[in-house]
Amino acid sequence: MKKSLLALALTTVLLVVGATSAFAADANPYRTIPGAEATELNSDSGKFSDGSGPRIETNDAKNIGYIVAGNWAKFSGLNFGDPGATKVKIEAASGAAAGGTVDVFLDSPTGTKIASIAYDVTGDWQKYKEISADVSGVTGTHDVVFVFVNGDINVKSVSFEGDAGSGAAAPAANPATGDNGVTMYVAFAAVAAAGFVLLSRKKFAKQQ
């Protein structure tokens, strides 16, 4: 009985730690962000998810595909911290006849433009190559929108680098509460689990 209660308490703590860690990772732009994590893709008609525009493909790469000129992909709530990002990178592939450009904006497709990334054809729609451009003044928390000026491109992932390389300017783990917030959640879970064990042991002892 006691071992079961302890196991339950430890499981509770691990679940909370895992959940808060996953939440923290999602807000971090200084990692490889899969194309499948795009929070919004606009369609060819300008309407969201009408099935006639870019989509997440069901292949191993889980890339954003079926992109034509004017489509865009949004990644929401990225916390760049301070001093912020210095470079934006895209893992892209194109089997088209010619390359093109991807413009990068903060917050909306008509927001502040922070970069323009040129790409060449790679010879195959699943032959990916990293392309990049410098950025500056990108701090705090923003949605980031990648506008595909020319289309004919597949996107496997996006990422950013900080002042001293990828991850160097990693922001507070939790965009709402910061690292202390994550620690607080975990500590609260640990205390709650310990209290649960103690109360259960007392109840169990009374039943003996």
- Per-residue pLDDT tens over the stretch 121-159: 999 999 999 999 999 989 999 999 999 999 899 999 999
**Could you give the number of structural domains in the chain?**
2
pLDDT above 70: residue 32: yes
pTM, two decimals, is 0.69
pLDDT above 90: residue 172: no
pLDDT above 70: residue 175: no
- Of the candidates 188, 208, 195, 198, the one whose C-alpha atom is nearest the C-alpha of residue 19 is 188
Report the pLDDT value the prediction gives residue 42, as an integer from 0 to 100.
84
Q: What confidence tier does 202 reach under pLDDT thresholds 50, 70, 90?
A: low
64 and 20 part of one domain = no
121 and 89 part of one domain = yes
Report the pLDDT value the prediction gives residue 10, as an integer from 0 to 100.
44
pLDDT above 80: residue 68: yes
Report the pLDDT value the prediction gives residue 47, as an integer from 0 to 100.
47
CB atoms within 10 A of CB 44: 17
| Integer angstrom CA distances of residue 126 from 43, 67, 99, 107, 129 | 22, 14, 15, 29, 10
Structural domain that includes position 142? 29-172
pLDDT (mean) for 54-73: 93
16 and 51 part of one domain = no
168 and 183 part of one domain = no
Report the pLDDT value the prediction gives residue 53, as an integer from 0 to 100.
76
125 and 105 part of one domain = yes
162 and 185 part of one domain = no
Per-residue pLDDT reduced to its tens digit, 14-28: 444 444 444 444 689
93 and 183 part of one domain = no
